[in-house]
Chain A
Amino acid sequence: MFSEFLQYLFTGITIGATYALIALGFTLIYNANHVINFAQGEFLMIGGMATVSLTAMGVPMLLAIVLAVVLAGLMGIALQRLAIAPAKDANVVTLIIITIGASIFIRGLAQLVWGKKYHVMPNFSGDEPIEVFGAVLNSQSLWVLGVGAVLVAVLVYFFTRTMTGKAILATSMNKDAARLVGIRTQMVLMLAFMVSALLGSIAGIVVAPITFTSYDIGIILGLKGFVAAAIGGLGSGVGAVVGGLALGVVEAMAAGYLSSDYKDAVAFSMILLVLFFMPRGLFGAKVVERV
């Protein structure tokens, strides 16, 4: 009985940590310019697919991971430079639509380059699962959790202790004021996209051994990440992490104790409930509209 519960919990936390990492990517860009970047899932895909194809070409795993992350970072910069920046002062909805277009484009490109097959990535540290009180834990889950925790810590440091991080926050609060105090806001936006892409690609790489990877893996994971970010409250780092974990655990519990048929329904009802009672999400900032 307990071991079953534990099993569901492990499953939920692993998948939840993935959602949380994706949600963090959403949060980052949202904080910079209030855009929800629907190409976030594609960064995930680029990370996983590039790593797989590079290792297939004989590049050592670690180097392949680094190259894949760099590639995704460049992709993030390119997305901001080539698609978002030219739209200049377009309103947020237009920018969101641009990111949707960009995601379709990136996915198409990936399909051309890498084909439509699913690919496997080996576990980072052996296939032997770890047994805890009768439940089993995939060793890769620990990687996901560990890498997730490190990334969160780095992000917190970045935003609260570094000048660049503060510049991003400042830009998000008031672009004009930020520009007045000498922040190069276009530069900051580019940086936000790059960091978000790095984050997404790392998430894509650590989860690839669990989920497999293919050119369209970003769609559904990106969507779930967005749900997690919305539950947690868009723009809140803590919210993204809590939202992701909560979503993952609720999904796994629903599949285990209710019915696997209603797993997704339960997850999506959760977002309805949360948004109904707390429209800004669990940790969303209170926003006062100034007229």
Chain B
Amino acid sequence: MNGTLAHYTKKFLAITAAGLLAMSAQAADPIRIGSFLSVTGPASFLGDPELKTLEMYVEKINEEGGVLGRQLELIHYDDAGNASKARNFASRLIRSDRVDIIVGGSTTGATMAAVPMIEQAQIPFISLAGATVITTPVKKWVFKTPQSDRMAAERILDDMKSRGLTKIGLISGTGGFGSSGREQTLAVAKEMGTIEVVADETYGGSDTDMTAQLTNIRGTDGVQTILNFGFGQGPAIVTRNYAQLGIDLPFYQSHGVASDGFLELAGDSAEGLRLPASPLLVPDSLPDSDLQKPIVEAYKSEYEARWNAKVSTFGAYAYDGLMLAVQAIEKAGTTDKEAVRDALENIQGHVGVTGTYNMSADDHNGLTADSFRILEVQNGSWKLVN
């Protein structure tokens, strides 16, 4: 009888001790970083490197002692490129996971589906998607890391202007990326005044031959250069058709195809074309004076060593998003949402892989067109020209 009582006492003590331990652990609760990404599905080429990047750097930051002396905890869901799923997961992150900040949203669709809920819940959100609409007009709680397509258009048109090319033949995909890029190009050209879009052709996402459109552009009076705004395999086909037709006008592509995969598809036809891209494609040719150089090089080598896969510009968006979040929390000295948001908005001169971020109350992206580098394809690889 006595023995059993002692046994119970022991058990009771053990439970109390465990409870106390749990309470003390709660004091140094981890900082919860929520994320919804398109890890599978059609946009997995975005979500997959993004998730890998987040996982790897959360681990690294934790090994180095965390943020504000607290560990980071990554809570992520896979929206499979589906906007309504993205909305549901954002809701789950806010309501049941009670995250402190959200870094995610691989596609513009997923991001915009989650935005109303995030604005309502008043939680800082750093999107990894590109479209201008995400941060224009400015939404109080929404930030983003990639450049807008408008900046790409500005950068391309600037480069054309500096080469004395003023009459553009435009060919664009009818998908979201291509049609938005087309609109931005037309708008930027109109604003610049000196540049004129003299031909405006499109092609469908699964078209297999764009010779007819290119023939039309070539036949347009006074055309000096050709710009293709598109995504996926379409631009590679345009590039090949362009070479087959023997067109010798200067040729531009958008940042949508700034990857080694594009070079593989387009092959020799890509020789001499130019496009705006992240410095991540040419870490070695950046001058030593470039502030981004060490960061770009470190990200590339760490990612490739850890995952044994080629680094991608999309993963870099996640890197920049996470680092901006960490910096904001450190600056705020707390995870209080209002304070973190204010700190995010005041980030100045934050050097990331994609560019140097200067946030402000009316710019929640913080990048300028200069963060794009103009690359040219020379002997089958990317070469920095500007």
Contacts and interface: CB of A to CB of B under 8 A. Distances in A.
B261 A261 contact: no
Contacts of B219: 4
Contacts, number: 74
Contacts of B211: 7, 10-11, 252
Chain A interface, >50% SS class:
helix
A41 to B, nearest CB: 11
B309 to A, nearest CB: 12
Interface stretch (B13-21, B85-93, B199-207, B341-349): B199-207
Contacts of A11: 209, 211-212
A132 to B, nearest CB: 13
A159 interface: no
Interface string A48-79: 00000000000000000000000000000000
Contacts of B216: 4, 255-256, 260
A136 interface: yes
Interface in B180-218: 201-204, 206-209, 211-213, 215-216
Q: Which size class do B's interface residues fall under? A: 20 to 34
B209 A263 contact: no
Nearest to A207: B208
Given A120-B264, A260-B203, A136 B208 contact: no
Interface of A: 4, 7-8, 10-11, 14-15, 18, 116-118, 120, 127, 129, 136, 138, 207, 210-212, 214, 219-221, 252-253, 255-256, 260-261, 263-264
B264 A4 contact: no
Contacts of A15: 208-209
B265 A136 contact: no
Interface of B: 44-45, 174, 201-204, 206-209, 211-213, 215-216, 219, 232-233, 236-237, 244-246, 261, 264-265, 267-268
A14 B212 CA distance: 12
Given A129-B246, A136-B245, A211-B208, A118 B213 contact: no
Contacts of B206: 219-220
Contacts of A4: 215-216, 219
A221 B213 CA distance: 20
Given A4-B215, A18-B208, 8 more contacts: A11-B212, A117-B261, A207-B208, A210-B209, A212-B233, A253-B212, A261-B202, A263-B204
Contact of B44 (A10, A116, A127): A116
Contacts of B232: 118
